Every structure is written in C-alpha cells, then in structure tokens.
Amino acid sequence: MTDPVFFAPSRLYTAGEVANLTGANLVDSSHADIAIQALAPANEGGNGALVFVDGKRNFALMHSLRAAAVLCPADFAGKAPQGIAVLVHPRPQQAFAMVGRLLFPQAATPGPMTAETGISPHAHIDPSAHVEIGAIVEAGAVIGPDVSIGAGTVIAPHAVIGRSCKIGRDGYIGPNASIQYALIGNRVIIHGGARIGQDGFGFVGGAKGPERVPQIGRVIIQDDVEIGSNSTVDRGAMSDTVIGQGTKIDNLVQIAHNVRIGRNCIIAGLSGISGSVTVGDNVTMGGGVGLADHLTIGPGAKLAARSGFMSNVPAGEVWGGYPAQPMAEALREIAMLRRFAKSRKQGDGNG
C-alpha cells in the first residue's frame, strides 16, 4: 500500500458495505464487519486493504493474497486464503474503481492546489467576466473579458481563460492550462499544461512560402470530458472542433482543427488526430495512434497502439498495423513474414 501522506481515506468501509454499494456477493456473511481502509494491487495487499483479481493470468495471485478483502469473479472465490472477505462480482475492476472513488474522492476529482476558496486576491479577473458563487479562482490565474465560469469549477494557479470563453459547473482547469475560443460544458476536467483553442495548423502555398489560413472556428467540449496534461485541441478553421460527452483523452494527445470526436471515446497518450477527422461514439485508441486527415472512424471501432491510419475504419472493427488494416489481416501478414524470415535463415544455414 502507498503511504497515505497525500491521500487519506474518507472513512472506513466494511466488507458488507462494499458488497451493498457494488452489488457484489459477500461469500461468507461472518466477514461483513471486516474493515477496509486502503486500496492495493493484488500482488502487494496489506492490512486493511481491498484488492481485486480478474483474468485467468492473474488466477495464481489468489493463493498468496494478503488483504482484508478481495473482489473477484465467482470461479476464483474458493481459492482465497482464510480470513479474507471474498466479494464476488462479474466485473471486479469496475467495482474496485467505484470503491476507490468513495474511499479517496479527492483523488477521483482534482481540487484546488492552494487552501484558497472563492476568488484569490492574487488572480486577475476582467471586470466584465462572470464568476458564479462557489467557483474557485486560485492565485495567478487570468480570466479575460466576458468569460463565464460556473459554480463549483476550479481554475488552478496560472491558468489563462481567454476572452468570451464559457466554462460550466463543477469542472477543473489545471495549472498553466490555457483556454481560448472555447465553450466547455459541466464537470469537464482539463489537466495542467493543456492547450485548448489555439490556431489549427492551416497554411497554403504562397509566392514567398506557406501562408496562414485564418482559423475562425471554436472548440466545443461537452459535459464530463477529461483532457490530460499537455494535450492540445486546436480550434476549427471555419467549423468547430468538437469533443463529445464523456470522452476521456490521455496526456500528450494532439487533436487538430475541425476534428469531431463522439461520445464516450477513450484516446490514449501520444495519439495524433489530423484535421477534419470524424470519430464515432465509443471508439478506443491505443497509445501512439496516428490518423491522417479527413478520415472517418466508425462507432465502436478499436484502434491498436502505435498504428498508422490512412483509410476509414468501419464501425465495430478492430484495426492495427502500419499502415493499419483489419487486425486479423495484420496478424496473418506478420505470421507470414516470420515464416518467410525463418525459412530464409534456415536456407542460409544449410548453404
């Protein structure tokens, strides 16, 4: 378990409470009063810790658990050591995350970095800006003309909110983030160093070299979106760049102008999405994915890490490789190349 110097549990929970909250089945009711005060990985555990075990490759961890309680699937339940509360759940990791949010609410949603509440006297707020009661604007933050910030939203130190931007309620704008030409919904989390609404990369050839195309669109970020540290979202050229409700974007992701991303997508770090790409709902992108411009990624598609895309991906399909193609085809080609390389090597040896 980690040292609770930064994150202390909100209170103790019992195994019985965890069962009721998550819908898990407590195998032995005599363990209902076992106290849970920490989270830990299954290979570490510790006194008072809740762990989870899921997936066949982790089954062996059940025999050596050291924990107060374990969340696991039904077919693992009989393998836990004596004295550990066994909580059977069809999706142990999801239940574990729910308990984590209850135990450590301050880790689930970013909060103020200082002890200040309300508007810091060391923040710069234009007189025409409207900051609702209950918002927090920390020292060094800059709020431009005609900005609107909703109640419960935190603007961290040295964040900059540009003219006429609108930010909803119960959100978070991290330290040194900058927001321009953007309309942002409720409960949106934008981590430190992110850049939202800067120029898209728009140039045309001219007599003296590349000439800038004015970028006059906006960024629209819908409710419950999260954008990681040092990620960038360019504003649209003439239409808007849109991030759909519930989408989660990792650190160091580049989203170019006019991109439209659907709802509940997951985009892992170091991915880059070129201009005018359309991404459907519930798409998952692994780390380092690259998308050429003007592509369409169908709803529910899964894009493998480190893959490069130069053609559209149909809804629900799994693609990968470089250039990317349906995963089954990519794996067949890799297998053929390996067999060919092996045969050449054996042939050279026989020569």
Q: Other CB atoms closer than 10 Å to residue 183's CB: what's the count?
A: 18
Determine the straight-line distance between the first and last CA of the chain, rounded to whole angstroms: 58
Beta bridge partners of 272: 254, 290
How would DSSP label each residue in 230-252?
T-EEPPPSSS-EEE-TT-EE-SS
What residues contact residue 214 under an 8 Å CB cut-off, 6+ apart?
A: 202, 237
Residues 301 and 280: beta-carbon distance below 8 Å? yes
β-strand pairing of 232-233 with 195-196: parallel
Return the DSSP state at 313.
B
119/135 Cα distance (integer angstroms) = 8
Say whether the peptide bond before residue 90 is cis (omega within 30 degrees of 0).
no
Q: What is the dihedral of CA 101, 107, 112, 118, to 10 degrees?
A: 10
Q: Which tokens belong to 141?
A: 């933050």
Of 122, 130, 257, 294, which is the active-site residue? 257
219/197 Cα distance (integer angstroms) = 6
Going from the C-alpha of 309 to that of each of 141, 327, 334, the distances in angstroms are 39, 12, 17
Q: At residue 327, what are phi and psi to the nearest 5 degrees?
A: -60, -40
Residues 148 and 162: beta-carbon distance below 8 Å? no
Q: Other CB atoms closer than 10 Å to residue 198's CB: what's the count?
A: 18
257 in active site: yes
The residues assigned a catalytic role are 257
